[in-house]
Amino acid sequence: MRNRLVLSTAFLGLFLMIACEKVIEIPLNDADRQIVVEGVGRNFLGESYVLLSRSGSVYDDGGFEVLSGAIVKVVDKDGIETIFTEDPLQAGKYISPTFQVTPNNKYTLNVNVEGLEITAESTSKTVPTLDSLTFIKQFGGFGPTPGDTSYLLFYNFVDNVDEDNFYRVSAWVNGVADENFYIGDDALGNGQLASAPLFATSIKSKDTVFVELLSMDEASYKYLLTLSSNLSAGPFSASPANPVSNMSQGLGYYSTYMIDTMSIIIP
């Protein structure tokens, strides 16, 4: 699982985004190889999935071994069970074309693989609502492409005052997924206007930018936050610990997202 995690210390509209940028593989303790679960539930039909693999040594460049033949199911708070079957086009990925996450629901993931039963729980929030995407023009010397004219894009929304919220933001530029993603919470701005920039995303004139605002539960946020702490650790930091997982055993996470989307074409 390779990605660039951005937690930015931008405080705009009383919304705190904590962030730093680095590109490395997920750091894991160099212990016995373990089963890794990446479970993602989304509020769009057929877009949820579960990835199963086995971790390698932190010093092993061989990557992850995918795991086939598992029994994967998700059960909601009302006992409605959905079976996820292995994608015939991608080994180790389990999907259900009829499943979608609903607001304020509790989901239990159950994975049976190689004689092990792995479970995790995630609670969905309400659907967030993007208010607008705005931008400012930059004339070199700042941002991901210093010296070039670029655009700094801001996502704007009003936080839900009735719940504690934890957010993730992802972007695509001209249909290509940005390697950066952004996380934050509403600890200092509950119920207020939130406005923060995609400060590490390279955007130019005529680009089409598609943005997802994802609301998640606290367990998912803690996983990403501890992962980011490992990614930003310096050479003299303590040995990295595995990111805080909500899995009963093994590594990884299960998160149910409520998502709103918006796009903009830069002039």
Please name the amino acid found at residue 68: S
255 pLDDT band, cuts 50/70/90, is: very high
Q: What is the pLDDT of residues 15-56, one digit of tens each?
A: 444 343 443 344 555 456 789 999 999 999 999 999 999 987
**pLDDT of the residue at 190:** 87
Is the pLDDT reported for residue 3 higher than 50? no
- Give the torsion sign (CA, 87, 105, 228, 21): positive
What does the pLDDT look like over 114-134, one tens digit per residue?
Answer: 999 999 999 999 999 999 999
Which pLDDT score is estimated for 118? 97
What Cα–Cα distance (Å) separates residue 233 from each residue in 63, 201, 254?
A: 22, 22, 24
CA pair distance 76, 74, nearest whole angstrom: 7
* pLDDT bracket for residue 242 (50, 70, 90): low
Query: What does the mean pLDDT of the chain come to?
Result: 83
Q: Per-residue pLDDT for 145 more than 60?
A: no
Q: Which residue, 258, 257, 247, 265, is CA-closest to 118?
A: 247
Give the range with max mean pLDDT: 14-18, 58-62, 109-113. Answer: 109-113
Cα separation of 68 and 92, whole Å?
5
Q: Which residue has the tokens 């994975």?
A: 111
> Looking at the DSSP assignment, which residues form a beta bridge with residue 39?
50, 254
Question: What is the number of other CB atoms lying within 10 angstroms of the CB of residue 237?
Answer: 10
Task: Please check whether residue 129 is in contact with residue 156, taking contact to mean a CB–CB distance below 8 angstroms.
Answer: no
pLDDT band for 140, please (50, 70, 90 cuts).
low
Helix (H, G, I), strand (E, B) or coil at 227: helix
Output the 3-class SS for 141-183: CCCCCCCCEEEEEEEEEECCCCCCCEEEEEEEECCEEEEEEEE
| Structural tokens at position 4 | 């660039």
Q: Kindly report, residue by residue over 213-229, the tens digit of the pLDDT.
A: 999 999 999 998 887 76
Nearest CA among 216, 173, 171, 236 for reference residue 6: 171
User: CA–CA separation, 126 vs 114, rounded Å?
Assistant: 36
Is residue 142 over pLDDT 70? no
Tokens standing for residue 245: 């997982």
Q: Among residues 239, 218, 219, which one has the least CA distance to residue 230? A: 239
Residue pair 196/17 in contact (Cβ under 8 Å)? The answer is yes
What percentage of the chain reaches a pLDDT higher than 90?
64
Spelled out in words, what is the top-level CATH class assigned to the domain 2-22+127-219+259-265? mainly beta
Nearest to 262 by CA among 109, 133, 175, 154: 133
Distance CA 222, CA 227 (A): 8
What percent of the chain is modeled with pLDDT above 70?
Answer: 76
Residue 141 pLDDT > 90: no
pTM, entire model: 0.81
> 199-213: per-residue pLDDT in tens?
999 999 999 999 999
Greater pLDDT, 64 or 146: 64
d(CA 178, CA 154): 15
Q: What is the CATH number of domain 32-125+237-254?
A: 2.60.40
CB of 171 closer than 8 Å to CB of 217: no
State the pairing for strand pair 193-197/176-185: unpaired
| Predicted local confidence at residue 19, as pLDDT | 44
Q: Considering the chain, tell me which residue range(s) the CATH 2.60.40 domain(s) occupy.
A: 2-22+127-219+259-265, 32-125+237-254
